[in-house]
Amino acid sequence: MKVIKTKKKNFTIRFAEKSDVALILHFIRELADYENLLDEVVATEGVLMESLFNRRAAEVIIGEYDGNSVGFALFFHNFSTFLGKPGLYLEDLYIKPEMRGRGYGRILLSFLADLALKRDCGRLEWWCLDWNKPSIDFYKGIGAVPMEDWTVYRMTDKALEDLAGEF
């Protein structure tokens, strides 16, 4: 396991391994609980193992303080037709509540920004819930710009099946 040292004393980052699946699911559930969306989590360890480590549909980094896991970021590549190059899309960023305010979330984002540049990505993007003012303030404070002219659309379950059934 490769551990990446950061400028913050005793805080390291590493890419998740198969043995981290239970921890990743735990962090996903904690994040969902914070977002009042816990009832929407249907992921299982098996699904995460298949998606993250067999299909490699996304990647995960784990932030550790003194060797203890305190947060994670799950991300994957997307593609900008306008730029003609890939981007990194951050699906989840989570730091345990008792560890917030220490700069660990910023370090994870900084690592992802560096990774995006190293992978010749043109963007690092993510969504944020409209009511999450602490996160919005944080993101704006690091130079992120909200995409206010865009609306996110989503299809799941029956609507997705119905549209696919037309093919």
Question: Which amino acids are annotated catalytic?
Answer: 139
For strands 59-65 and 11-15, give the pairing: antiparallel
Rg (CA), the chain: 17
Structure-token pair, residue 77: 């590549």
